């Protein structure tokens, strides 16, 4: 009887611990995903700004193909 109660208690505690750890893991993944999305948007904005600045400084090089290159 005591052994059975101990076994059931251990199983319940293990299940509760696993559920808690799973929730913590999911929360951490969600937070990391938000951070990555935020940083990606910030990086893309910086790249776009740099491209706009480069284009405004030298608009002639915008969409022209490079000349003088030999195919080999």
Q: With 0.85 as the threshold, say if the pTM is over it.
A: no
Q: Give the pair of three-digit tokens for residue 39.
A: 């940083």
The answer for residues whose C-beta is within 8 angstroms of residue 55's C-beta and 6 or more apart is 62
The reported pLDDT for the residue numbered 58 is 85
Q: Give the pair of three-digit tokens for residue 60.
A: 């002639």
Provide the 10 A C-beta neighbour count for residue 55. 13
Give per-residue pLDDT as tens, 15-61.
Answer: 999 999 999 999 999 999 999 999 999 999 999 999 999 999 887 76
Provide the 10 A C-beta neighbour count for residue 11. 10
List the domain boundaries for the chain. 25-55
Q: H helices of 58-72, where? A: none
């Amino acid at each position: 009887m005591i052994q059975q109660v101990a076994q059931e208690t251990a199983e319940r505690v293990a299940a509760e611990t696993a559920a808690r750890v799973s929730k913590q893991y999911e929360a951490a993944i969600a937070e990391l995903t938000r951070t990555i999305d935020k940083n990606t948007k910030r990086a893309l904005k910086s790249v776009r700004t740099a491209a706009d600045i480069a284009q405004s400084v030298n608009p002639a090089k915008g969409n022209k193909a490079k000349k003088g290159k030999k195919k080999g």
